[in-house]
A and B are shown apart, each in its own frame.
Chain A
Amino acid sequence: MAPSVPSPLVGEGQSEGVSARRASSVLSFLPVLLQQSINGVVLGSLYVLVALGLTLIYGVLLQINFAHADIVTLGAFAAYFFIHSLGGGYLSSIAVAFLVGGALGWLLNAAIFAPLRERGDELRPLIATIGVSVLIENLALAWFGPVPYAFDSPYSGQVIRFAGAFITIQSLLVVVVASATIAALYLFMHATYVGKALRAVAQDRETAGLMGIDPNRLIMLTFVIASALAGMGGAMLGPILVLTPFAGASVIVKAFAIVIIGGFGNMEGTIIAGLFVGLIESFTTQFLDPGLIDIVVFGLLLATLAIRPTGLIAERREENV
């Protein structure tokens, strides 16, 4: 989790009387606010990367991939071993994780989602992915062991300070790469032919098929992109979180919350919700108890579902019987 950072300005300016003291304690509050906002955005960017994959898959396939978490984990491990065993650089390890993620996505779709698609059972693929997830996590546990790996990026130590807050280069990198990726994805979805075709398939598979678009190919493409994003997310998460076989799992539950709050299949909503959750997490860590994060986030999730069963910003999809 993001470290909670005490304000370096605490104690400054507490001399000139009550009102001045109050004013200055508000001032000393601001850096904390800023710091946690920064932390929140960093976390949020990561969550968005992971959650976007989920929402993309759901948008096109109306399925949830439980094993998405493990693609994050495996992406992180791939990056780790690329650096430590093959001597690669950190930045290229992100690319490696991207590719590994994509490959895993291809594999998952080919092995599980494609064969089960014809049978038309809504929940069976979900259950299968639960099985795969448990399998991968525990195989990884047997393989890599439970002891966390120290995934240090060369950028973790360097820090930029300003206005009483700081941000590590690593975190900055995360935000930059995530934003660039999301922007690229957005462009892809809205400006290219393939992207628009993807959205068409998400809206109405039959009609898209009739217009000469091969849904299966597009679904595979979606899977690969979504999983590549996840893998990349893993590589960037590694230095920030602890790298264990369950690293992805800790993120995925929040990713689910994000996708539901933002609305399944809704890209913009997911981005907003992701940043929102990131901010909530950092503020909860700072002002409440880190142990309560999950409760707060999931409480939000359940509250969202209570009020709007299809998510806060979701598109209305009412079913005509």
Chain B
Amino acid sequence: MNAATLFRAERLVKRFGGVLAVDGISFAVPERSIFAVIGPNGAGKSTLLNLLSGIHPPDQGSMGFAGTGLANLPAHRRVRLGMARTFQKIRLFKQLSALENVLAGFHARHHVPWWQHILPGAALARDRACCQQEARRLLDFVGLAERAAARAGALAYGEQRMLEIARALATGPRLLMLDEPAAGLNAAEVERLIERLDVMRRDGLTLIVVEHNMDLVMTIADRVLVIDHGQYLFEGSPAEVQRHAGVIAAYLGTAA
């Protein structure tokens, strides 16, 4: 509990059309931990993640990453700070191969003088070799080493989910935000995912996971934030959350 706070959100508010999707949410995520966000359908979880990753600016509230205020920093700049994410609806580059997808993730980390982009030289070659190696390592990490050349759109659903994670990892993040990574996965795949998340945490990564799958959340999360109708409901350890009456009511009360 003495770990430094890597990410902090304060009183975030976001409206879409007439709907108050996120209403005054605050939380802090300690480094090297897995922070889960749960809530019934339509609770505003994905919107929250979109705010955190910079896709939409919040109407009110602030966010900070490693002490730096995020203000209205656009998504692609947050990546350079060390924040990466995956999407609820899979957004892979379907026409590209698995390897090419992961390679795209290195965009922010290339070190090549500009002129070598049109007149290739040694630096470009070295960079390319380095990225290829690292990409394969990441594919291996998520269990897709054999499928490197396969077209991303042709992969099985579970494989696509893992590929998205590999691609996000390619950006070299300190904070990884996953939007329902277990959606559509069978029990065995979820087991595997849990195990990989654990490895990532041990390797020093911090994770924010929006999830519906209670098995995953209760097994792996260090802290859980429960939101409903865009509002803060409860935050605590997985055990505390399971016992909390308000949480139970929220889940049973709505026809989820």
Contact = CB atoms under 8 A, between A and B. Distances in A.
A14 B55 CA distance: 66
Contacts of A321: 46, 50, 55, 87, 89
Interface in B69-100: 87, 89
Dominant SS at the A interface?
loop
A311 B109 CA distance: 38
Nearest to B91: A321
B16 interface: yes
A85 interface: no
Nearest to A315: B17
B16 A320 contact: yes
A320 B56 CA distance: 9
Contacts of A320: 16, 21, 46-47, 50
A318 B17 contact: yes
A316 B87 CA distance: 24
Interface of A: 316, 318, 320-321
11 contacts: A316-B17, A318-B16, A318-B17, A318-B56, A320-B16, A320-B21, A320-B47, A320-B50, A321-B46, A321-B50, A321-B55
B210 to A, nearest CB: 13
A320 B42 CA distance: 12
Interface in B2-38: 16-17, 21
Contacts of A316: 17
B186 to A, nearest CB: 26
Contacts, number: 14
A318 B16 CA distance: 7
Nearest to A318: B16
Nearest to B179: A321
A5 B6 CA distance: 72
Contacts of B55: 321
A265 to B, nearest CB: 15
Given A320-B46, A320-B47, 12 more contacts: A316-B17, A318-B16, A318-B17, A318-B56, A320-B16, A320-B21, A320-B50, A321-B46, A321-B50, A321-B55, A321-B87, A321-B89
A121 B110 CA distance: 32
Interface string B181-216: 000000000000000000000000000000000000
A206 B59 CA distance: 30
Nearest to A316: B17
Contacts of B87: 321
A204 to B, nearest CB: 13
Q: Which 5 A-B pairs have the closest CB atoms?
A: A321-B55, A321-B50, A318-B16, A320-B16, A316-B17
Contacts of B56: 318
Interface string B42-70: 00001100100001100000000000000
Contacts of A318: 16-17, 56
A320 to B, nearest CB: 6
Nearest to B19: A320
A296 to B, nearest CB: 34
A38 to B, nearest CB: 40
Most buried by B among A316, A320, A321: A321
A316 B18 CA distance: 10
B21 to A, nearest CB: 8
B163 to A, nearest CB: 19
B22 to A, nearest CB: 11
A67 B16 CA distance: 35
A262 to B, nearest CB: 20
Nearest to B50: A321
Contacts of B21: 320
A316 B56 CA distance: 15
A321 B49 CA distance: 10
A320 B14 CA distance: 12
A242 B157 CA distance: 59
A266 to B, nearest CB: 15
A242 B89 CA distance: 52
A321 B86 CA distance: 12
Nearest to A317: B17
A145 to B, nearest CB: 46
Contacts of B89: 321
B26 to A, nearest CB: 22
Interface in B145-173: none
A320 B66 CA distance: 27
B17 to A, nearest CB: 7
Contacts of B17: 316, 318
A121 to B, nearest CB: 12
A299 to B, nearest CB: 29
A320 B55 CA distance: 9
